[in-house]
Homo-oligomer: A and B are copies of this chain.
Amino acid sequence: MAQAPAAPPSTSQPAVSTDPLPSWNEGPARKAILDFVAKTTQQSGDVVPPAERIAVFDNDGTLWAEQPMYFQLAFALDRVKALAPQHPEWKTKQPFKGVLEGDLKSVIASDESGLMQIIAVSHVGITTDEFATIVTDWMASARHPITKRPYNQMVYQPMLEVLTYLRANGYKTFVVSGGGVEFMRPWMERTYGIPPEQVVGSRVKVKYEVRDGTPVLLKLPDIDLNDDKAGKPVGIHQVIGRRPVIAFGNSDGDFEMLEWTTSAKGPRLGVIVHHTDAEREWAYDRDSSIGRLNRGLDEGPARGWVIVDMKSDWKVIYPVQP
C-alpha cells in the first residue's frame, strides 16, 4: 500500500506556503487535479501502485505556448536563414525565398511540400549530436517575436507546478508531443525536469554509421513516427509500454491520447488546457489552424475530462523572468 507523501522538511522561515499549485485559482480544475492525486496516492480504494503512476503531457499549447506559430517552425525558419549563405539559389526559390524575405504569409500559405522542404533542410542530413548542439544554441539566442522572451521561458508556470506536484507524489512525468523528439530533448530536462528518456515525439529515421572510427547517428529524410492524433497512443506504447494514468493536452491532436489514457480500468484523469485568455496569452479553439480544439470541447466533458479555462483558472501564465 502506498504511503501518503512525506511532509516537506520544516524550515525556520515563517509562513512557508505548502500549496502545491500556487498559480492556480480556486475552482473545479484545480480541485479535480488535487483530488485525483490525493485519491491515487493516499490510502484509498483508488490508490495506484507507484510503478504505474505514469502521467503524459502534450507540449505545444499544453506546457509551452504555440502562437503565432509552432516554435519548432520558428526554429526551422531561423535555420534556413543561417544556412542561406551556402545556398544562393534559395534567393529565388520558394519556399526559401519567402523565408529569407520575411514573407511569412507565403510560407504559411505554401503547401505541405513547401513546409516539408523547410523541415528537410533544417532537420536532416546531419548527425543527432550536431542537431542537438544547433537546438541548444538556438534556444539560448532566439527570442519570441512578441514577448521577446527566450522560447524556453514561454512555458506555463501553472503547468510547471503540476509537473513538480505529480513527481512529488510518485508520478513519472513524460512529454508526448507531435513536436520532434530531437528538438525537445536538449532543453526539457532543465526546463521541465523531464529527462530525455521520458520525452516521446515525432521522429525521422536515423542510421548508425562509423566515420573514421567514430560512430554517429545520421538523421534521414524519412518520417519514422508522426506522434500526433492516433500516433500518440502508438508513441506511448513504443516508448513507455504501459497505459498512462493521467494525460494533459490542449488540442484535438491530443484526443486519442486522452481517450487511450482515460478508457482504461481504474482511476484516470484527462485534462484539456483551453486557450481562453486573449489578453495574457492567446484565445483560440475551434477555428484555429494551430492547436485546433473542437472534438475535445464537444466530447470531453461527457468523457469526464477536465477543461482548464486559462483565463479564470490561472493566476499567471509564464514564470517570472530571472
Any chain B CB within 8 A of the CB of A259?
yes
A195-218 interface mask toward B, CB cutoff 8 Å, 1 = contact, 0 = none? 111110001001110100011010
Tell me the complex Cα distance, A233–B207, Å: 9
Contacts of A217 in B (CB 8 A): 233-234, 237
Any chain B CB within 8 A of the CB of A315?
no
Please determine whether A51 and B189 come into contact, CB atoms closer than 8 angstroms.
Answer: yes
Any chain B CB within 8 A of the CB of A240?
yes
Please determine whether A260 and B196 come into contact, CB atoms closer than 8 angstroms.
Answer: no
Q: Which of A48-86 contact B (CB under 8 A)?
A: 51, 54
Q: Which of A226-255 contact B (CB under 8 A)?
A: 230-231, 233-234, 237-242
Least distance between A316 CB and chain B CB atoms (Å): 28
Any chain B CB within 8 A of the CB of A167?
no
Contacts of A42 in B (CB 8 A): none
Query: Range of interface residues on chain A?
Result: 35 or more
Q: Specify the chain B residue showing the minimal Cβ separation from A229.
A: B208
With A185-B241, A215-B256, A256-B215 known to touch, is A208 a contact of B196 (CB < 8 Å)? no
Tell me the complex Cα distance, A263–B213, Å: 9
With A208-B260, A234-B206 known to touch, is A240 a contact of B196 (CB < 8 Å)? yes
Any chain B CB within 8 A of the CB of A317?
no
Choose among B181, B237, B242 the residue that contacts A241 (Cβ–Cβ < 8 A). Answer: B181
A166-207 interface mask toward B, CB cutoff 8 Å, 1 = contact, 0 = none? 000000101000000100010001000001111100010011
Contacts of A240 in B (CB 8 A): 196-197
Contacts of A276 in B (CB 8 A): none
Contacts of A94 in B (CB 8 A): none
Please determine whether B208 and A230 come into contact, CB atoms closer than 8 angstroms.
Answer: yes
Choose among B199, B208, B237 the residue that contacts A233 (Cβ–Cβ < 8 A). Answer: B208
With A51-B189, A215-B233 known to touch, is A197 a contact of B260 (CB < 8 Å)? no
Any chain B CB within 8 A of the CB of A106?
no
Least distance between A217 CB and chain B CB atoms (Å): 5
Contacts of A238 in B (CB 8 A): 181, 203, 206, 224, 238-239
Contacts of A181 in B (CB 8 A): 238, 241
Q: Specify the chain B residue showing the minimal Cβ separation from A185.
A: B241
Please determine whether A241 and B197 come into contact, CB atoms closer than 8 angstroms.
Answer: yes
Least distance between A252 CB and chain B CB atoms (Å): 14
Least distance between A261 CB and chain B CB atoms (Å): 10
- Leading 5 A-B pairs by shortest Cβ distance: A196-B241, A208-B230, A197-B240, A208-B233, A196-B242
A-B contacts, 15 of them at CB < 8 A, read: A185-B242, A196-B241, A196-B242, A197-B239, A197-B240, A197-B241, A207-B234, A208-B231, A208-B233, A208-B234, A208-B256, A214-B263, A215-B259, A215-B263, A238-B239
